[in-house]
Amino acid sequence: MADHYEVLGVDRQASADDIKKAYRRLARELHPDVNPSAEAAERFKLVTHAYDVLSDPQQRQQYDLGGSGGFGGASGFGGFGDIFETFFGGGQQQRGPRSRRERGQDALLRVEVDLDEIVFGTTRTIEVDTAILCSTCEGSCCSPGTSPQTCDICRGSGQIQRTVRSLLGNVMTSSPCGSCRGYGTVIPSPCPTCAGQGRVRARRAIPVDIPAGVDTGVRIQLPSQGEVGPAGGPNGDLYLEIKVKTHDTFSRNGDDLLATVEVQMTDAILGTTVVLPGLDGDVPVEIKPGTQSAEIITIKERGITRLRGSGRGDLKIGVQVVTPVRLNSKETELIRQFASSRRPVPPQFSTFQQGIFAKLRDRFLNL
């Protein structure tokens, strides 16, 4: 048998406090709950037995005089539970029966909204296929007029205790009762509607406020709007993930709205005012004389309401000047007269110009 002092890593003159500290350090390292290996379990047995002997003055004196200090001697500990109660504050405490009521699971739904709905926010009613409280038993899980009965196997404790003999003596173990599954009660007559679950599946309509300014990927939390838990337990939460649909005319850049307007060459030259349909009503747009393609016209406060902060973004309109292609003879003659009246400027190379849509895109991105 290994020397008890060597097992604990202390010398023969070690004080009782030194022995206790050495055992505490080794027990925390080797206990099966911390280190489940077979080697650690064997070492833990040796360490525990060595401490049992050396922590008791009479057994230590007998061991120092050449006694065996074997298993089964008088010891101040009844097993692993008593040891851990001494050193780790409480040890293995008996647990009571677990509750049938549990919190319901959270749920995630994806909701598509139109771009015009998020300008000022909107209200939606969504239908959710979820678990709701059973109206027959109201979460009791029992048939009407009946109730749960105390388990006659565990007597309501939800646990079965067994005494196991080991090298350290008798060790008390505890495990959930197989008859009641740890609840401490059994249901002799389950509810026929929910089969003893306390909840049923159903479709539920939920009104949802979608705030202004949300964007694709934003998640909205609806507390306690998820499924009800088993046995009428608390509801989980419902999360809505927003997806904003693509609009045919407008696109989004943060809180700003972007659009393109086609302008006839004569309107770009002389200037004009047009009224265009916006997401929240008509928008008057002033085309100033001499407007060039790819210029940006900004209409303040006609964008999307800011999700955080106050006010709205802007509506930014890119101008595309349209050159007429098919002219009649009179129109052609007028254009020639116009051209001849201006000082001729001979064509020459200049900086490469992108297409109208590429230029608009770059200008929008650089706003």
Consult the annotation and say whether 141 binds a ligand: no
Sequence-distant (≥ 6) Cβ neighbours of residue 241 within 8 angstroms? 108, 109, 110, 111, 217, 218, 219
CA pair distance 137, 142, nearest whole angstrom: 6
CA-based radius of gyration for the chain = 41
Which stretch of DSSP H or E encloses residue 269? helix 265-270
- Has residue 71 got a pLDDT over 50? no
Residues 107 and 238 sit within 8 Å (Cβ to Cβ): yes
Consult the annotation and say whether 154 binds a ligand: yes
CA neighbor of 97 nearest in space, from 43, 160, 45:
160
User: For the residues of 313-366, what is the DSSP string, one character each?
Assistant: --EEEEEEEEPP----HHHHHHHHHHHHHSPP------S----HHHHHHHHHHT
Q: Which of 163-167, 203-207, 343-347 has the highest mean pLDDT?
A: 203-207
Confidence of residue 331 (pLDDT cuts 50, 70, 90): confident
- DSSP annotation of 136: T
Q: Both tokens of residue 86?
A: 């001494």
For each of the domains in the chain, give its residue range(s) and CATH number, in order of start: 4-88 (1.10.287.110), 95-133+199-246 (2.60.260.20), 251-365 (2.60.260.20)
Consult the annotation and say whether 180 binds a ligand: yes
The letter for the amino acid at 184 is: G
Consult the annotation and say whether 142 binds a ligand: no
Is the alpha carbon torsion for 193, 194, 198, 199 positive or negative? negative
Residues 320 and 262 sit within 8 Å (Cβ to Cβ): yes
- Reported as a single tens digit per residue, the pLDDT across 271-312 is 999 999 999 999 999 999 999 988 999 999 999 999 887 899
The letter for the amino acid at 27 is: A
Mean pLDDT for the chain overall: 83
Please report the pLDDT score of residue 12 as a whole number: 87
Q: Both tokens of residue 344?
A: 């001729």
Q: DSSP 3-state assignment of 143?
A: coil
Which stretch of DSSP H or E encloses residue 197? none
pTM (global) more than 0.85: no
The overall longest dimension of the chain from CA atoms, in Å, is 131
Consult the annotation and say whether 191 binds a ligand: yes
Residues 163 and 170 sit within 8 Å (Cβ to Cβ): yes
Consult the annotation and say whether 194 binds a ligand: yes
Which stretch of DSSP H or E encloses residue 221? strand 219-222
Please report the pLDDT score of residue 102 as a whole number: 93
- Has residue 81 got a pLDDT over 80? no
